[in-house]
Amino acid sequence: MKKNNLSSLIIATFLISFIGTNQTVYAQKIAKEINVQKTITKEVLTSILDKNKNLYTQGKVANYIPELGKMQSNKIAFSVVTENGKVLNVGDVNQKFTIQSISKIISLMVAVNEKGEKKIFDKMGYFGTDKPFNHFANLDLNGKPLNPLMNAGAILTTSLIDGEGDIPYQKILQMVRYITKNPTIEINNSVYNSEKETGHKNRGMFYIMKNTGLIVANNEDKLDNYFRQCSIEVTAEDLAKIGYFFANHCTRFDGDKKYYNKEISKLIESQMLTAGMYEFSGEYARTVGLPSKSGVGGGITVSVPNKIGIGVFSPALDSHGNSLAGYRMILDLVNQYNLGLFD
């Protein structure tokens, strides 16, 4: 037998043995990938939306910011960006709402890109919490916020972005526009003014951190930038694109890799998993098992690592401040396609 033929026979025998001993795992992996790539359709999303659309009656639209309370509680939208960047939308797909706390993952990215992770997290922790999003938590103990996704940590994060006046806010806005490839995204000035007029608890956090030296400021411009970023208007599709971006190492849904960075995406997604749903994060990790970030405007963005992005909107909230119908839609999709990290 020729040497080349003998080599080919040895390799073939090895491959057959390898495939035989690993076929179950391999088949499961391929099946899972095919599920995500081939089967998620608008029809599936519509079915899930229809199943959950009446859950708004069990929740409550946020009204502690008066302008938010004007949103119609029965509005609902569901969006997915697939692995190849295709966008699937169902429901009230054109309904705009304010991004609120989902903006925190964008401001964290901007701040870390400028200052580095160490300089940001020297001033705050990586911790989860059993407290609501607007709780003072650790501030009265050692002055440092527990994490960048509670209000105190987010206010501090935005204050660390370079620039005077509203320049830090403009950087956040431009990043949202870039990620979504949507240059029409703007601030809702009515919500911004409402937040500024009623945000006394956030103002208290700002001044505590100013008193301890974490925030250096001569006025409230840095706090105003936080109010502004929360008042940026988006759609469920925009949130799906944000979820896709961080799921794919900061690659935009159209393949643009301008900000490609595995470490940034790992940081953002790990914080989303541990603290993105506030005091519900632990239970959410058990049921959904994916990096997610909610906002009291009714939106949730979800990253399925290395795969897809999900965006939902329904303004009626549960007791934790998370979209009630939005959570159930995400859970149904994850269960149907085994999308969770622990599936």
226 is catalytic: yes
Of 81, 296, 302, 312, which residue is the catalytic one? 296
CA neighbor of 323 nearest in space, from 291, 340, 301? 301
The distance of Cα 101 from the centroid of its chain, to the nearest Å, equals 9
Distance CA 131, CA 35 (A): 37
Q: What are phi and psi of 316, to 5 degrees?
A: -75, 120
Lookup: tokens for 129: 């919490």
Selected catalytic residue, list 226, 284, 327, 337: 226
3-state SS of 148-194 is CCCHHHHHHHHHCCCCCCCHHHHHHHHHHHHHHCCCCCCECHHHHHH
- Total Cβ atoms within 10 A of residue 281: 24
Residue 278 appears among annotated catalytic residues:
yes
AA letter at 214: L
The token pair at 275 is 């603290």
Cα separation, 29 vs 282, whole angstroms: 27
Q: Which of the residues 53, 75, 96, 104 is marked catalytic?
A: 104
Nearby residues of 49 by Cβ (< 8 Å), 6 or more positions away: 76, 78, 90, 91, 329
DSSP-assigned beta bridge partners for residue 89:
79
Catalytic residue among 169, 192, 244, 278: 278
- Give Cβ neighbours of residue 76 (< 8 Å, ≥ 6 apart): 49, 52, 53, 56, 91, 92, 313, 314, 325
Out of 79, 101, 292, 314, which one is annotated catalytic? Answer: 101
Q: Is 231 a catalytic residue?
A: no
List residues with catalytic annotation: 101, 104, 226, 278, 296
